[in-house]
């Protein structure tokens, strides 16, 4: 199981990165992305810290830690700048906090994030067919979320992605130890969105592109 989307206490998560990685490892995960919430006020602090700890942990742990960021509530007009700066700072995965119906995300965020070239559009809410097509064309992965609130539109997201042919991943958006899930639970989340076992397998392959070859071969 690869989970590309989680949070440590560098934003609103409960755990330091090392404990988050260890708890995910104990759950049987192959890899975890630590992608704390960021905007222009904190990405220059968060990303280098996560990059540093990931490099240390990846020398000794079985799980692979992917250092990243979840660009959160950044005005759509500034998304391109935020993505570019995040990559310059060393983020190996850039996630966009999409237009979930659980929060007042600015309209146009999904489109701006896709246009800016994020890696994953998280919990995109009632995403339009136009945005889904743009995600497909741009190679942006669409998230099926295990997170409460954000998961309410999983069915819509899954149907739209299948219709258009966009690639998907399943993530937890973990903020606390109890949010982490194993592969069996992730598979149930996928089936609950109206998808099948083949879709879950494909999602894991999509996520594996962020791993070194020796880790990706485990998927």
Domain-wise residue ranges, the chain: 2-208
**Residue-level pLDDT at 219:** 52
pLDDT > 90: what percent of the chain?
A: 96
Nearest to 107 by CA among 75, 149, 84, 138: 75
> Is the pLDDT at 112 greater than 70, yes or no?
yes
pLDDT at 56 over 60: yes
145-194 pLDDT, tens digit per residue, is 999 999 999 999 999 999 999 999 999 999 999 999 999 999 999 999 99
Residue pair 168/206 in contact (Cβ under 8 Å)? The answer is yes
User: Which residues face 68 on adjacent strands?
Assistant: 93
Say what the pTM is: 0.96
Task: Write the pLDDT tens digit of every residue in 74-97.
Answer: 999 999 999 999 999 999 999 999
Q: Report the percent of the chain where pLDDT is more than 70.
A: 98
Give me the pLDDT at residue 175, please. Answer: 97
CATH topology of domain 2-208: TIM Barrel (3.20.20)
**Assigned token pair, 24:** 């995910």
Which residues partner with 168 through β-bridges? 142
């Amino acid at each position: 199981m690869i989970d590309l989307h989680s949070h440590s206490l560098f934003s609103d998560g409960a755990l330091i990165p090392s404990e988050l990685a260890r708890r995910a490892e104990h759950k049987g995960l192959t890899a975890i992305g630590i992608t704390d919430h960021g905007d222009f006020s904190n990405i220059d602090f968060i990303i280098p810290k996560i990059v540093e700890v990931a490099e240390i942990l990846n020398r000794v742990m079985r799980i692979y830690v992917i250092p990243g960021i979840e660009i959160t509530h950044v005005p759509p007009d500034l998304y391109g700048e935020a993505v570019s700066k995040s990559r310059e700072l060393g983020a190996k995965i850039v996630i966009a906090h999409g237009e979930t119906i659980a929060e007042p995300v600015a309209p146009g965020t999904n489109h701006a994030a896709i246009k800016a070239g994020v890696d994953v559009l998280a919990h995109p809410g009632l995403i339009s067919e136009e945005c889904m097509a743009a995600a497909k064309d741009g190679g942006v992965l669409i998230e099926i979320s295990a997170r409460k609130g954000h998961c309410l539109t999983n069915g819509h997201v899954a149907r739209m992605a299948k219709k258009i042919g966009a690639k998907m991943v399943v993530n937890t958006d973990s903020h606390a130890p109890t949010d982490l899930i194993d592969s069996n639970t992730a598979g149930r989340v996928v089936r609950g969105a109206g998808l099948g076992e083949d879709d879950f397998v494909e999602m894991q392959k999509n996520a594996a592109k962020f791993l070194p070859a020796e880790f990706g071969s485990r998927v």
